Amino acid sequence: GENVEQHPSTLSVQEGDSAVIKCTYSDSASNYFPWYKQELGKRPQLIIDIRSNVGEKKDQRIAVTLNKTAKHFSLHITETQPEDSAVYFCAAKTAAGNKLTFGGGTRVLVKP
Amino acid sequence: GAVVSQHPSWVICKSGTSVKIECRSLDFQATTMFWYRQFPKQSLMLMATSNEGSKATYEQGVEKDKFLINHASLTLSTLTVTSAHPEDSSFYICSASRQVKETAFGSGTRLTVV
């Protein structure tokens, strides 16, 4: 089955700096890659996603890049703010299984 | 967008008892729902895929007799933790997808077994 690795597990940045989180996946059939932000005790919230036919997608301060050949994708957050502090998860989904496989998560702390 | 409701949001039960968690898709029909377990400071781990009208598909290492899943209608899946023990204490989350992109999560259930 699919295996998703995520790095780093923790990330501390100064407010205003950029944060980058990287994920790799194993199943070349995966075609959908969402990123979620989860606050303590809450459900994951979709912040951005990318399909396998696209290499990059941007939404204001958040961008995601995908390298299908290398089977890795990354989340970029620019101009970080304290409210960006949370746990971020990458995930991968295949069209056939329709189930999400999550990375291990990255705890992001933005220091004011 | 797709909305999934999950109840209860938290529950405390005694060891040896059973607990039922409900997951409902409010504005769409979900032939498939998913159940995840999340331990503190860890990722969401898929437990099982709930299929309407048929048996659930369990991930490797998940005891199907302990975690009973019923998906009797297109809008409701239930997870019953049977003979709960303290090590079953966790955050349980369900999800359903209306389309490939649109995965909606329930609000989660914090289970504490004492």
What is the three-class DSSP state of A81? coil
B106 contact residues in A (CB cutoff 8 A)? 43
A52 contact residues in B (CB cutoff 8 A)? none
**If pLDDT is split at 50, 70 and 90, which confidence band does A98 have?**
confident
> Is the minimum CB–CB distance between B2 and chain A shorter than 8 Å?
no
B103 contact residues in A (CB cutoff 8 A)? 34, 46, 93, 100
Please give the C-alpha separations between residue B54 and each of A83, B32, B70, in angstroms, as whole numbers. Answer: 43, 10, 9
Average pLDDT of chain A is 94
Q: Which of A24, A10, A107 is nearest to A73 (CA)?
A: A24
Is there a contact between B101 and A95 if contact means CB atoms under 8 Å apart?
no
Residue A99 has pLDDT above 90, yes or no: no
For A30-84, the pLDDT digits (tens) are: 999 999 999 999 999 999 999 988 899 999 999 999 999 999 999 999 999 999 9
Residue B54: the pLDDT is 87
| Distance to chain B for A89, nearest Cα, Å | 8
Please check whether residue A101 is in contact with residue A1, taking contact to mean a CB–CB distance below 8 angstroms. Answer: yes
> Is the minimum CB–CB distance between A98 and chain B shorter than 8 Å?
yes
Interface test with A, best of B3, B5, B36, B43 (most A CBs within 10 A): B43
| Dist. CA B101–CA A31, nearest whole Å | 10
Please check whether residue B51 is in contact with residue B37, taking contact to mean a CB–CB distance below 8 angstroms. Answer: no
Please check whether residue A13 is in contact with residue A99, taking contact to mean a CB–CB distance below 8 angstroms. Answer: no
For A66-75, the pLDDT digits (tens) are: 999 999 999 9
Residue B59: the pLDDT is 94
Is there a contact between A43 and B46 if contact means CB atoms under 8 Å apart?
no
| Dist. CA B38–CA B47, nearest whole Å | 10
> Per-residue DSSP letters for chain B?
---EEEE-SEEEE-TT--EEEEEEESSS--SEEEEEEE-TTS--EEEEEEETTS--EEPTT--TTTEEEEEEETTEEEEEE-S--GGG-EEEEEEEESSSS-EEE---EEEEE-
Please check whether residue A75 is in contact with residue A20, taking contact to mean a CB–CB distance below 8 angstroms. Answer: yes
Tokens linked to B3: 């909305």
Residue A34: the pLDDT is 95
Residue B99: the pLDDT is 67
What is the three-class DSSP state of A83? helix
Residue A85 has pLDDT above 80, yes or no: yes
Residue A77: the pLDDT is 98
Give average pLDDT by consecutive 10-residue segment, chain B, 114 residues: 92 97 92 93 94 90 95 92 97 85 89 97
Residue B45: the pLDDT is 95
> Is the minimum CB–CB distance between B91 and chain A shorter than 8 Å?
yes
Residue A10 has pLDDT above 90, yes or no: yes
Is there a contact between A89 and B43 if contact means CB atoms under 8 Å apart?
yes
Alpha-carbon dihedral sign for residues A44, A22, A96, B99? positive
Please check whether residue A110 is in contact with residue A85, taking contact to mean a CB–CB distance below 8 angstroms. Answer: yes
Within a 13 Å sphere around the CA of B93, how many CA atoms are in the beta-carbon half? 23
Please check whether residue A1 is in contact with residue A27, taking contact to mean a CB–CB distance below 8 angstroms. Answer: yes
